[in-house]
Amino acid sequence: MTANSARKILCVQISRGLAPAVTVANTVAAAMMNEMPYKLIAGRTAVDAKQEAALAAIEQGADLLLVEDDVMPDRGAWDAVIENKTDVMVATAIMRNGMLNTWFHGDRVLYSGTVFLKVPLPVLERIGDPWFACHDLEFNANRGEWRDKGPNADGQSSDVWFFRRCWELGIPVLVAGFAVHYLHQGNALGSDLKTPSDVRPMGMTDCTKVTMKKKEGENHE
């Protein structure tokens, strides 16, 4: 099945110029194989690059597939975002310390980063501009609510903004496979950093104040 069987998917890769060539080449090849138009956005801040990507998809009347430049998504992730025409989908990032980057609250995805993110056009239109913004956001697990503490002075958390908007609007986020990080070591560093080819899922780590868990019956092996 190709992307041409429905509304087109615009594959946008954002780059800071630090990633190995193999990860960029892999995305370009996968986009070509699946007949997706490809756009590279380089040399911009993360939030500006993501905003530009969303605007490009809106202008082209396309779904957005946002791919960061230092990840290698598995084949299952590519297949899933092509076959599913209606849902927001993410690939769980696997850091070099083995941590996973998808968090759940109850049975809903709370946050998953933007390493490999599919956003259908109707969802982009529903969320509205800005799709990404750098704010300090805090989740209250007891109330199931996000609190906006204002702009982030360091230009971080643009991805959290997007998932917060999905949460508030009741937009489901589905997990579609894995994407191995080639550069990101993980936020809770250990001494046992693996090479990308040796990284394997090691399960969720309870490292925040929010009660999060894997979906019941989910198997990452």
> How much is the pLDDT for 207?
25
Q: Give the closest residue to 73 by CA, choosing from 37, 33, 44, 110.
A: 33
> How much is the pLDDT for 127?
97
39 pLDDT higher than 50: yes
122 pLDDT higher than 50: yes
> How much is the pLDDT for 6?
67
Q: Give kind and range of the element (H or E) at residue 33.
A: helix 21-33
> How much is the pLDDT for 212?
30
Q: Is residue 208 part of a domain?
A: no
Integer angstrom CA distances of residue 129 from 100, 188, 195: 29, 32, 38
DSSP 81-95: HHH-SSSEEEEEEE-
Q: Is residue 152 part of a domain?
A: no
The tokens 């259908």 sit on which residue? 120
Domain count, the chain: 1
Q: How many other CB atoms sit within 10 Å of the CB of residue 70? A: 21
> How much is the pLDDT for 182?
64
187 pLDDT higher than 60: no
Q: What range does the domain containing 24 cover?
A: 3-128+172-185
Q: Is residue 161 part of a domain?
A: no
- 34 vs 40: CA distance, rounded Å: 17
> How much is the pLDDT for 121?
97
Q: Give kind and range of the element (H or E) at residue 162.
A: helix 158-169
Out of 10-14, 75-79, 92-96, which region has the weakest mean confidence (pLDDT)?
Answer: 92-96
Q: Which one-letter DSSP state was computed for residue 144? A: T
The answer to whether the Cα torsion of 95, 210, 54, 150 is positive or negative is: negative
pTM over 0.85: no
CATH number at residue 96: 3.90.550.40
- 117 vs 120: CA distance, rounded Å: 10
The tokens 């756009």 sit on which residue? 39
Out of 83-92, 169-178, 202-211, which region has the weakest mean confidence (pLDDT)?
Answer: 202-211
User: CA angle 38-40-41, nearest 5°?
Assistant: 140
Q: Is residue 115 part of a domain?
A: yes
Answer for the pair 152, 134: CB distance below 8 angstroms, yes or no.
yes
Percent of the chain with pLDDT over 70: 78
Q: Is residue 104 part of a domain?
A: yes
Answer for the pair 179, 94: CB distance below 8 angstroms, yes or no.
yes
User: CA angle 189-133-169, nearest 5°?
Assistant: 100
Q: What is the CA radius of gyration of the chain?
A: 16
Classify strands 116-119 and 9-15 as parallel, antiparallel or unpaired. unpaired
Interval 113-135 mean pLDDT: 96
91 pLDDT higher than 70: yes
Interval 20-34 mean pLDDT: 89
Tell me which range, 49-63, 87-101, 150-164, 178-192, is most confidently predicted by mean pLDDT: 49-63
22 pLDDT higher than 90: no
Q: Is residue 41 part of a domain?
A: yes
Q: Is residue 97 part of a domain?
A: yes
Q: Is residue 165 part of a domain?
A: no
The beta strand positions in 16-134, using DSSP E, are 38-42, 63-68, 71-73, 88-94, 103-105, 108-111, 116-119
49 pLDDT higher than 50: yes
Q: In this structure, what token pair is assigned to residue 38?
A: 């490809």
